[in-house]
Amino acid sequence: DAGVIQSPRHEVTEMGQEVTLRCKPISGHNSLFWYRQTMMRGLELLIYFNNNVPIDDSGMPEDRFSAKMPNASFSTLKIQPSEPRDSAVYFCASSFLAIDSYEQYFGPGTRLTVT
Amino acid sequence: SQQGEEDPQALSIQEGENATMNCSYKTSINNLQWYRQNSGRGLVHLILIRSNEREKHSGRLRVTLDTSKKSSSLLITASRAADTASYFCVTGSSNTGKLIFGQGTTLQVKP
């Protein structure tokens, strides 16, 4: 298994531009999570999906952020318009949620720099 | 909040020594997990301990759980330079799979 795949690995963009981050979870997993990590705020959960349905998006910073999961094998996190304070590493993780078993598998992350 | 809080925030030891990291949490849990993050990389699951377990081993890792004190510890024995990483104690909801990460302990193992 290739693990969780994220693209791009690095993204540099100018303020105001639209940014789309992509994630392919591990096949067979039924939950997907988007995190953001910065030195100041640590690792923050932005949104997560169970069976492709968004369950909790309370961590999404503001309306500029949106996430979709059109099918079990693909998810996107979009920032429009981007701002310098969005610069961070964004991680996608997936898991198979079962009773008492929910180890998460993380992708390598996308390092976003907004200038 | 069920957030785990790690202690110490940073730890520096010599290769071959043991490293102990502690974690405290606030609410009742079904289980507790430890993750490792190497610099610039994604997190990797290390071990899960259930609330009815007191101790668990995995290779050079030993995890303890004291639910009465709402605390856990991670011991890495015979540390190696490759163990240099950040370590996170994680609690969460067994219903949703949502995990809450603390700030982590940064471990440096000097060769």
pLDDT digits (tens, 9 = 90+) for B50-71: 989 999 999 999 999 999 999 9
Contact A8, A107 (CB under 8 A): no
Reported as a pLDDT band with limits 50, 70 and 90, residue B94 is: low
Q: Which residues contact A31 (CB under 8 A, 6 or more apart)?
A: A48, A49, A50, A51, A94, A95, A96, A97, A102, B97
For residue B40, give how far its alpha carbon lies from the nearest alpha carbon of chain A (Å): 8
Most confident of A3-7, B31-35, B36-40, B101-105: A3-7
Query: Does the CA dihedral B32-B19-B42-A91 come out positive or negative?
Result: positive
Q: Nearest-5° angle of CA A111, CA A112, CA B1? A: 80
pLDDT at position B92? 76
Contact B43 A106 (CB under 8 A): yes
Q: Stretch B87-104: mean pLDDT, rounded?
A: 80
Task: Characterize the bridge pairing of strands B105-110 and B10-14.
Answer: parallel
Which helix or strand (DSSP H or E) is residue B31 part of? strand B31-37
Contact B23, B5 (CB under 8 A): yes
Reported as a pLDDT band with limits 50, 70 and 90, residue B108 is: very high
pLDDT at position B103? 85
Residue labelled with tokens 């969005």: A86
pLDDT at position B95? 66
Whether the pLDDT of residue B3 is over 90: the answer is no
User: Which has the closest alpha carbon to A113: A4, A19, A3, A2?
Assistant: A19
My answer on whether omega of the bond before B8 falls inside 30° of 0, hence cis, is yes
Report the percent of chain B where pLDDT is more than 90. 67
Which residue in B99, B101, B103, B105 has the most chain A C-beta atoms within 10 A of its own C-beta, making it the best mutation to test that interface?
B99
Contact B33 A103 (CB under 8 A): yes
Contact B82, B1 (CB under 8 A): no
Report d(CA A22, CA B16) in Å as an integer: 41
Closest-CA residue of chain A to B41: A108
Q: Nearest-5° angle of CA B8, CA B37, CA A62? A: 95
Residues of chain A contacting residue B91, judged by C-beta atoms under 8 Å apart: none
Whether the pLDDT of residue B1 is over 50: the answer is no
pLDDT at position A61? 87
pLDDT at position B40? 80
* Stretches in chain A below the pLDDT threshold 70: 1, 99-101
10 Å Cβ neighbour count for A2?
7
Reported as a pLDDT band with limits 50, 70 and 90, residue B2 is: very low
Reported as a pLDDT band with limits 50, 70 and 90, residue B27 is: confident
pLDDT at position A100? 61
Whether the pLDDT of residue B31 is over 90: the answer is no
Contact B23, B71 (CB under 8 A): yes
